[in-house]
Homo-oligomer: A and B are copies of this chain.
């Protein structure tokens, strides 16, 4: 009898201890996950899509096609197959668009920081807090980022307005208007600095009371250029596209000194479409928060600069011996963000075909498997072509593959000429 009770006691004791220990382990391991409820379905779905193996040459998206219950990989250019592992050897390097995919790996590496759960009832109203079309928290983070990077002066004194980002197209060089005598003509000068396509820092050319200047600072971030001093202009445009790489979010903002201009712009964005999508504003906010969580905003620029600098060095080195092609020279400059002299890391190579007979540079490249953007788009001669260096690593690698083959032809051509 005593043995039985003992056994029972002992068993219960051991059992209880195991139970308590297990509960503790479960609490420690599962911990917070335990508490989730309505967001689990969405979280699982997103993680499932993200886990699709696309061989590092593509990725599946939450709103992509689903075949046989599996999200379909969307492959980088020149890659194919269900898992994007098949490379098409004859495929051209497409370096036409300014698609800023060089930052995609950054966000994949910092998945937890960049993610947002959007609730079904998120800010359904037309306005924030019943009046504004602008998220106050997002505005704060934008100002904080400018302060951190030092690329725009005193944003606290400026007004911020959000707009749907657009890519301005070159319509004619203002330098030709510099000495115009028609002082009565009202003009708006667009200054893009660093300049697209050549990456040079620019100042306004036109002056006077009849001239208004809009500064496009889309590329004025440490990824692409030294920051010699904070910009301090009347109307400064920025876009998420070239800062975080989210071109698809179509989000931009303007820092505006003149209160009247600000009020008019705000009225315009309000009237045209009652502001920018609240979902987009929420996601932009999370991306900026994530930037600050990465070593107080250093990480993303370190990643961006290192990537762009390396690409520029590889391309420069390959072309250094060439007499057939040349690219722009950008002088090293002191960068206040890095507090040191830094070499160039531009978004685009501005390539020139040097041979007399190769006037149509775009065609020369195209025939050799490189698709650039015609210089004429930027008002330049046909000898010039813009090559985008900000796309995926695959795009850049393929560009170099095609270039190296082109340059080896050049050596052969040189030998042939000598003979």
Contact = CB atoms under 8 A, between A and B. Distances in A.
28 contacts: A6-B7, A7-B10, A15-B18, A22-B23, A26-B30, A36-B43, A37-B112, A38-B112, A46-B116, A46-B117, A46-B118, A61-B122, A61-B123, A62-B282, A63-B137, A101-B125, A111-B121, A113-B120, A115-B119, A117-B117, A123-B248, A124-B247, A164-B272, A164-B277, A166-B274, A247-B274, A250-B277, A251-B277
A279 B249 contact: yes
Contacts of A47: 35-39, 117
Interface stretch (A128-136, A151-159, A220-228): A128-136
A278 interface: yes
Contacts of A281: 63
Stoichiometry (number of copies): 2
A97 to B, nearest CB: 7
Interface stretch (A102-110, A306-314, A367-375, A408-416): A102-110
A40 interface: yes
Interface of A: 3, 6-7, 10-15, 18-19, 22-23, 26, 30, 32-47, 49-50, 59, 61-65, 74, 77, 97, 99-101, 103-104, 107-108, 110-127, 129-130, 135-138, 164-167, 245-251, 272-283, 285-287, 290
B35 A44 contact: yes
A103 to B, nearest CB: 7
Contact of A287 (B10, B64, B112, B120): B120
A95 B140 CA distance: 31
Given A6-B7, A63-B137, 10 more contacts: A11-B14, A15-B15, A33-B33, A36-B40, A37-B112, A39-B47, A104-B124, A118-B283, A124-B247, A165-B273
A280 B277 contact: yes
Interface centre among A100, A246, A276 (most CB of B within 10 A): A246
A103 B273 CA distance: 21
Contacts of A104: 121, 124
Contacts of A103: 124
4 smallest beta-carbon distances between A and B, as pairs: A114-B120, A46-B117, A248-B278, A38-B111
A283 B174 CA distance: 42
Contacts of A12: 14
